[in-house]
Every structure is written in structure tokens, then in C-alpha cells.
Amino acid sequence: MVQPSEPEFEQAYNELLSTLKDSTLFEKRPELEKVIPIVSIPERVLQFRVVWEDDNGVAQVNRGYRVQFNSALGPYKGGLRFHPTVNLSILKFLGYEQIFKNALTGLNMGGGKGGSDFDPKGKSDSEIRRFCVAFMGELHRHIGADTDVPAGDINVGGREIGYLFGAYKKFKNTWEGVLTGKGLTWGGSLIRPEATGYGVVYYVEKMIEYATQGKESFAGKTVAISGSGNVAQYAALKVIELGGTVVSLSDSKGAFIATTAEGFTPAEIAEIADIKVSHAQLSTLADKFASKFKYLEGARPWVHVKADVALPCATQNEVSGEEAEALVANGTKFIAEGSNMGSTQEAIDVFEAERLKNPQGIWYAPGKAANAGGVAVSGLEMAQNSQRGNWSTEEVDQRLKEIMVNIFNTSVSTAVEYSSEKGDSLPSLVKGANIAGFVKVADAMHDHGDFW
């Protein structure tokens, strides 16, 4: 299951297992404990070389991967990530999380993840296209609309999805909904770029409503956000729309922290979006934004802000135990991950201990629940492709919101049903999400004869 060289996967595995054991699930349904070692090994792992030609005519080589983790609920579904840090451990952790995240959406999707250690930064458009064609030259043998439907992830946006889809169509001589995140004129869905960011805000909206018994909303709340890609941008825009104030954004090189009460405006977020298309750093805007924001080189936002809500939207393990303690000390009430496994286990332990100690303390939502909006709309894109149709912005957005509300309600009700906790603390959303996703997948595996 877990190999010594797979720390990220080991973290995801242990986080799931510990929450399942720290509940009454295996007391009420002891037959499910035997599923853990089965569901924790991928059904298939593909690893291949990708040879492509740079602009100087020199052959370059990268590693390509696809982890097809679980298909109990539907075709493998999960993104492709192009980044130099990509390795099997990271993709196994992402694919493992994806199994249960997809289960929570209520849509018929299994879990998978893939990508390459290719770094698109500094590459020309032609080099990226040639890489995508070479990558799909192997991957096309293993995917399909009813087999495995990849999507985008870090450094795989609309441009890369277009190149990958075009290559697949040529190799297979067929047009099918094999990738999600497609262009709107050739099978894509409205709201897909916005979906993860919007979804995490819809989820937190329900957290605030539940915790305050409907007395509060995002209106008047200060919100700290990390990251500056699609997820962070659209989360920020939705927060502003709902009356909140966004006080931070960041990237891998540093963070902007608001120094005025206004926070970010939609126009400033649009400027950040423009530079991120060309993979530029936030630091290029430091002088322009100096009157409203302090740029902290090499910093993450968490110890530098006072905020009611914290939304990690950058990458895995971006909130440490020390940073979690700083968020608690600074009065943060709600934290929800727009990134996958955005908090370390030490940070989760801090959040959960504070939740148990103080009913008015911090309430934490894991990525497999809070950031499921992206894959939810990918599932809606698959449905539209099957119908050969397109739904309106309003219809997709309404379905997205309904899915996120259902995930929240399921997390709460499952946490209450299987709780071993005493007292009047808020339900554990991490336990509720883990148990609900796991039970749904395990029941399907049992029905298929994967265990008995």
C-alpha cells in the first residue's frame, strides 16, 4: 500500500485511516475494515517516458504518469499536473483523495490522477504543444470517455487541454468527451474555470450559516486566501461578490498582504490573472500595488494576517502546525481547503483540537469536501458531452451550488451518525467527509465482488 519513498501518499492514507478508526464506523460496520488495504492500492499505475523536441531541435525527455486508482463508481476521473515536483507519491496521494472526493459529489466518477515532471515555465507555445502531443502519444491508449477522463490541474489549463484533446482526436480518430476543461466552442462547460473557487466559497457559506444558526454570512468577513491561480482568483471574486474582504493572495515566491481595509478589488484580481497566464510572479506587481498591499518575499499569508476565514488555495501541505496555531491565535473561525491536502497532519490536529475544546473555535473543512466543485463541474461537462448539449451559466452554477450544499450536509450528518465524541462541539467535517466518501466507494466495491 504505502512505500517508503511515498511520504505524501502515506500522509493521505494515514489521515483517512485515523479518522475512520476514531469513529464508530467499524463498530457499526466491521466488515468495512477489510476494504482499507484493497482500496489503498491503485487498480493500475501507468508510467512512461515522454520524448519531445525543443525549439533548437534537441530531444528532451520527461516522465509521464497516470494513476488509475478506483473505478467502483465510474470512469477514473482526476486532473493532469505538469510540474517539476511531480512524482508517483504525489500522484498517488492526489488520486487517493480523488476517489473519495468524487464519491461525495454524488456523480458517477471513479478516482485517478496523472501528469509529468515537465515544467512549462520558460517554454514556448510550440514546445508546450509538442510536449502535449508526445505525452498523449502514450496516454491515449489508456483513457476514454467511459474509461478514464482526465482534466487540468497545476500548469494544465485551457491551452494544454486543447493541445491534448487535439492529439487524442488524431490518434484515436474519434471525438469524445475524453478530457474536461475543454473550450466552450468544442465541448466545454460554462463555470468550469470558476468551479473550484466558487465551490469552496459555497461550502464555507454553509459552514458559517450552520455555526451561527443563520445569523451570519460572508458579509463583513475578512478572508485570507493563498495562491493566485484559477482557484484563488475565483474564490476571491466570489467572496467579494458575497460582501467579504480578501486580505491576501500569494504564489510560490511570496505573498501580498492588505494594508488597508478595502482589500483586493475585482480589477486588481484581473491584473493578477493577466500576469499568471504568462507564469509571471506576483512580485512584478509589488511596486504598482504598494499603496494597498505589502509584498512579503518567500512568505505564506497565514502568520501575517488576521482573518475570519482562511482558504488555502495553492498546493499541498501549505499550512503547517505552527501556522495553524497562528490562525487560531489570530481569531480565524473557518478554514476550508481550496487545494488538495492543503494542511499538514499537524495543522489538522491543531484545528480539530481547538474545535473540540471551544464550540466557538475554528472549524476546518478538508479539500476532499470543500474543493470538490471543480471535479463536480467536470462531471457536469461529461454529462453535457454525452447529451451533445450545453447548459446555461445559471443552470451549471445552480447545480454546482446544490452539489456543494449536499456535500456539506452529508459531511455533517455522517459526522454526527458515526461520532465517538462527547460534548457540544461542532461536527468534525474531516471525519464526516472521509467516512461518507469511503462508505459509498466500499459499498460499490462489495457489490462488484471486489471483497466479500
Residue 209 shares a structural domain with residue 150: no
Query: Does 44 fall in a domain?
Result: yes
Name, in order, each residue with C-beta under 8 angstroms of 139's C-beta and a sequence gap of 6 or more.
46, 48, 64, 66, 114, 150
Residue 148's domain is classified under what CATH number? 3.40.50.10860
Give pLDDT, residue 421.
87
CA-based nearest residue to 90, from 18, 164, 154, 22: 154
All three cell numbers of 377, joined, read 463541474
Same domain for 89 and 231? no
CATH number at residue 359: 3.40.50.720
Model pTM? 0.94
Same domain, 149 and 272: no
Per DSSP, 427 falls in state: P
Residues in contact with 312: Cβ distance below 8 Å, sequence separation at least 6, in sequence order: 226, 227, 318, 319, 335, 337, 338, 339, 342, 343
Number of domain units in the chain? 2
| Structural domain includes residue 16 | no
**What percent of the chain has pLDDT above 70?**
99
Q: Give yes or no: 113 in active site.
A: yes
Residue 422 has pLDDT above 90, yes or no: no
Report yes or no on 405 lying in a domain: no
pLDDT at 420: 86
Q: What is the mean pLDDT of the chain?
A: 96
Decide which of 303, 334, 365 is a domain's last residue: 365
Measured distance CA(216)–CA(26) in Å, rounded: 37
Domain annotation covers residue 141:
yes
Q: How many CB atoms lie within 10 A of CB 220?
A: 10
Name which residue leads in pLDDT, 269 or 154: 269
Residues 155-169 pLDDT 10s? 999 999 999 999 999
Examine residue 389 and state whether it is found in any structural domain, yes or no.
Answer: no
Residues 60 and 198 in one domain: no
Give the mean model confidence (pLDDT) for residues 401-429: 94
d(CA 320, CA 393): 37
User: Given 317, 332, 365, which residue is the final one in a domain?
Assistant: 365
- Of 150-154, 194-198, 212-216, 274-278, the poorest mean pLDDT is in 274-278
What is the amino acid identity at position 287?
Answer: D
pLDDT of res. 288: 95
Structural domain range at position 263: 194-365
Do 253 and 357 reside in the same domain of the chain?
yes
Residues 204 and 311 in one domain: yes
Whether 119 and 385 have beta carbons less than 8 Å apart is answered as no
Q: What is the pLDDT of residue 278?
A: 80
Among 340, 368, 333, 352, which residue's Cα sits nearest to residue 244? 333
Same domain, residue pair 155 and 239: no
Q: How many residues does the chain have?
A: 452
Does residue 229 sit in the same domain as residue 151? no
Q: How confident is the model at residue 423 (pLDDT cuts 50, 70, 90)?
A: confident
Stretch 173-188: mean pLDDT: 96
Average pLDDT for 385-390: 94
> What gap in Å lies between CA 443 and CA 360, rounded to an integer?
36
- Does 127 map to a domain? yes
Backbone angles phi, psi at 374, to 5 degrees: -65, -50
Edge-first strand listing for the sheet containing 334-336? 293-297, 254-258, 245-251, 222-225, 309-311, 334-336, 363-365
Q: Within this chain, do residues 261 and 359 fall inside the same structural domain, yes or no?
A: yes
Ligand-binding site membership of 101 (annotated) = yes
| Cα angle, residue 125 at apex, residues 124 and 126 outer, rounded to 5° | 90
* 220 & 286 share domain: yes
- Calculate mean pLDDT across residues 416-423: 88
* The pLDDT of residue 1: 62
Residue position matching grid coordinates 466543485? 373
User: How far, in Å, CA of 41 to CA of 194, rounded?
Assistant: 32
Under the banding of pLDDT at 50, 70 and 90, the label for residue 417 is very high
| Short-list 136, 154, 139, 132, CA closest to 86 | 154
CB–CB of 197/282 below 8 Å?
no
Q: Do 216 and 319 fall into the same domain?
A: yes
pLDDT(263) > 70: yes
N-term to C-term CA, the chain: 20
CA distance 246 to 255: 13
Please pick, among 92, 113, 182, 206, the residue that the annotation labels catalytic: 113
pLDDT tens for each residue of 70-85:
999 999 999 999 999 9
Residues 150 and 214 in one domain: no
Burial of 272-305, coded b for 16+ CB within 10 Å and e otherwise, reads bbebbeeeeebeebbeebeebbebbeebbbbebb
Average pLDDT over residues 50-57: 98
Q: Per-residue pLDDT for 2 more than 80?
A: no
196 is in an annotated binding site: yes
Query: Does any domain span residue 415?
Result: no
Q: Is 230 annotated as a binding residue?
A: yes
User: Of 312, 335, 365, which residue sits at a domain end?
Assistant: 365
**Is 406 a member of any domain?**
no
Give the pLDDT band of residue 3 (cuts 50, 70, 90): low
